Amino acid sequence: MSPERPAAVAPIEARLEIADLPAGIAGALDRELRTVGVRPSATAHNTVLALDASRPGAADRVRGLAGPGRLLVLSTAPIPAGDTGWALLRAGASDVVVWGGAETAVPVARRLRRWQNVDMLLDRPYVREFLVGGSPVWRAVLREAVEAARFTAAAVLITGESGTGKERMAQLIHDLDPRPTKKKLVILDCSTIVPTLSGSEFFGHEKGAFTGAAAPRTGAFELADGGTLFLDEVGELPVTLQAELLRVIQEGTFKRVGSNLWRKSSFRLICATNRDLLAGQAAGTFRPDFFHRISGCTLRLPSLRERTGDVIPLVEHFFREALPDREPPRLSPAVRELVLQRPYPGNVRDLRALALRIIHRHLGGDEISLGDVPEAERPEPGHRPGIRTGDPRLAGWVRDRLGGGATLADLTVGVEEEALRAALLSADGDAGRAARTLGIPVPRDGAAVPAR
Ligand SMILES: Nc1ncnc2c1ncn2[C@@H]1O[C@H](COP(=O)(O)OP(=O)(O)OP(=O)(O)O)[C@@H](O)[C@H]1O
């Protein structure tokens, strides 16, 4: 699979929102932005909000406009030091720029152009099919990955629980890397490296360098020259080896085992781990200098629990993969509920395995029936949807709250609020969709509230 060819240069489009500015300033701003090629469009994905950000209420304005696209705050007044600017970012702004007249228009256009290019990459069929998911939290991390891959040479550190897609993400970054010299992604799993042979694995060796070295060998750094080296399970690398790798990662020079000749290799490094490397540093098992070298850009892949809105699209994707020649069957409501309620400790890998187990039992027809669900996956008698007693995270949360003096009513309100927040987040703020997910009526003013 390979990424498609880049599209022709598109005009820069942005929604332009001007809040309470004198007509003269608003007019100048609009004119200058047009001069540098920005075309205001009510339907654009990204937004420019022009306002005096030093005045009260700016963060509320940002919050009101924040959506799936990116939002640039253009402030006509300087941003005071302190929390004002950060509050705008927390409210949903992607960046804050102080408008200084014509010369600000060029960097504004540059940002908007970059964001638009990244969005176009994200929407390519190759990307959407390779790493499935449209939830805001997934889109945000994918966006960062695409940007790093296409527009930087940064070393990327991918963290996340097992099965969240770290290796697949590394492949995507390699595929989107525009360097013409790249070959295949070179993958080394650090958890399987035998310490005595690690030098040879990484640096290669010359014939006769050690007993058993009957022929010369090209190591991973050399193989990755011009492309990408992916170190999976980097948290398992012994500290001594981390020190040995520093030079080549820093300077791109190394010697094969048994040779005095310095060789050069230019590669992008991608590392992945499900370990907490900060804790590793505190414990002395991970070198801080090594950490800084490998983490030019850090991507934390969310667990499936944090992106439940992606569960059904992923299942449908795995069905399509398994049945490429026909329309994949729909999930019947009870199976859908089961798939949504089930825990996935191995994240997308677990979900994929479940989807394949179901589809392998399916005997045709438009709908996945209850009998297609393997026996081991069926709910226990007395199971009530949504209530999984014994869930340790739920039990811990309840214990903490009760210990803090909460009543049953407080717990109920807390759960409702969380459910609303989660449903709205995975529905991209669409109250109707959120309400349908929650099984509650949508009130006339569009805000989803639980029926009491
Ligand atoms: N977003 C996704 N879209 C489609 N398939 C995915 C996605 N994320 C993960 N997968 C699939 O899930 C499985 C696990 O993915 P991957 O090996 O990339 O995870 P990982 O985080 O590297 O796992 P580990 O930590 O165990 O090495 C693979 O079969 C992969 O194809």
ipTM of this predicted structure: 0.98
The per-residue pLDDT for range 235-257, each reduced to its tens digit, is 999 998 999 899 899 999 999 98
The reported pLDDT for the residue numbered 443 is 58
Work out the percent of the chain whose per-residue pLDDT is above 90.
56
The per-residue pLDDT for range 372-427, each reduced to its tens digit, is 998 888 887 766 555 555 555 677 678 778 877 888 888 888 888 888 888 887 77
- Quick check: 153 and 268 in contact, CB under 8 A? yes
Quick one: 309 and 289 in the same domain? no
Quick one: 266 and 167 in the same domain? yes
Q: What residue numbers bound the domain in which 415 lies?
A: 392-438
Distances (CA, A) of 78 to 61, 65, 73, 302: 17, 21, 12, 36
Q: Write out residues with Cβ below 6 Å of ligand 1.
A: 131-133, 160, 162-168, 274, 317, 348-349, 352
User: Is 35 a member of any domain?
Assistant: yes
The reported pLDDT for the residue numbered 414 is 85
Rounded to the nearest whole angstrom, what is the distance from the C-alpha of residue 137 to the centroid of ligand 1?
17
Quick one: 261 and 278 in the same domain? yes
The per-residue pLDDT for range 329-346, each reduced to its tens digit, is 999 999 998 999 888 999
Quick one: 233 and 331 in the same domain? no
| Residue to probe by mutation, ligand 1, list 135, 161, 167, most atoms within 8 Å of CB | 167
Q: Nearest Cα to 350, choosing from 361, 339, 359, 360?
A: 339
Quick one: 83 and 176 in the same domain? no
Which residue CA neighbors atom 23 of ligand 1 most closely? Answer: 163
Which residue CA neighbors atom 31 of ligand 1 most closely? Answer: 168
User: Is 80 a member of any domain?
Assistant: yes
- Quick check: 296 and 151 in contact, CB under 8 A? no
Please say if the pLDDT value at position 366 is more than 90.
no
At 154 the three-state DSSP class reads coil
User: Is 243 a member of any domain?
Assistant: yes
Distance between CA atoms of residues 35 and 32, nearest Å? 5
Given 81, 112, 143, the domain boundary residue is: 112
Distance between CA atoms of residues 373 and 354, nearest Å? 9
Please say if the pLDDT value at position 90 is more than 70.
yes
Rounded to the nearest whole angstrom, what is the distance from the C-alpha of residue 284 to the centroid of ligand 1?
29
Please say if the pLDDT value at position 2 is more than 50.
no
Distance between CA atoms of residues 160 and 137, nearest Å? 13
Please say if the pLDDT value at position 112 is more than 70.
yes
Where does the pLDDT of residue 7 fall: very low under 50, low under 70, confident under 90, or very high at 90 and above? very low
Of 439 and 258, more confident: 258
Given 240, 275, 300, the domain boundary residue is: 300
At 217 the three-state DSSP class reads strand
Q: What is the CATH number of the domain that holds 238?
A: 3.40.50.300
Distance between CA atoms of residues 175 and 181, nearest Å? 12
Q: Give the chain's domain count.
A: 4
Given 300, 316, 338, the domain boundary residue is: 300
Quick one: 148 and 256 in the same domain? yes
Quick one: 326 and 417 in the same domain? no
Sequence-separated (6 or more) residues with CB below 8 Å from residue 53: 73, 75, 77, 79, 84, 85, 88, 96
Q: Nearest Cα to 93, choosing from 118, 74, 117?
A: 74
Quick one: 373 and 410 in the same domain? no
Where does the pLDDT of residue 355 fall: very low under 50, low under 70, confident under 90, or very high at 90 and above? very high
The reported pLDDT for the residue numbered 214 is 80
Q: What is the CATH number of the domain that holds 327?
A: 1.10.8.60
Quick one: 186 and 247 in the same domain? yes
Sequence-separated (6 or more) residues with CB below 8 Å from residue 257: 199, 200, 203, 204, 205, 206, 209, 210, 213
Which residue CA neighbors atom 12 of ligand 1 most closely? Answer: 349
Please say if the pLDDT value at position 309 is more than 50.
yes
